[in-house]
Amino acid sequence: MQVPLSAYLILSAFLFIVGVVGVATRRNALIIFMCIELMLNAVNLTFLAFARFLNSMDGQIFVFFVMVVAAAEVAVGLAIIIAIYRNRETVDVAELNLLKW
């Protein structure tokens, strides 16, 4: 029995929603960042599912580029978090409110 496309899409949507809930709810900047990576993985799954079911390699090439950009983004984002920690001694985003009026 074949796995239908909708199964992959439902799993991808579920992972994306879990990532969004994590970003919206948690205060630790590192866990927020991990939930962003979770969302990127969910999108990768969507791309690959459609690439398979539409018999097109474009989806897989795009997943490759998504992974490259995710790696670059993680490097820069973690450097920013380290710089913030060095200045404020915390990674709690609730305490990063210097720009709040």
The residues in 55-94 that bind another protein, with binding defined as CB under 8 A, are 55, 57, 60-61, 63-65, 67-76, 78-83, 85-86, 91, 94
- Would you state the structure tokens that stand for residue 24, as one six-digit string? 């919206």
Beta bridge partners of 28: 92
- Cα distance between residue 99 and residue 29, in whole Å: 17
- Would you state the structure tokens that stand for residue 31, as one six-digit string? 């866990």
Give CA angle at 14 (74, 6), nearest 5°.
120
Nearer to another protein, 76 or 98 (CB): 76
Q: Rule CB under 8 A: which residues touch another protein? A: 1-8, 11, 14-15, 18-19, 21-22, 25-28, 30-31, 33-35, 37-38, 41, 44-45, 48-49, 51-53, 55, 57, 60-61, 63-65, 67-76, 78-83, 85-86, 91, 94
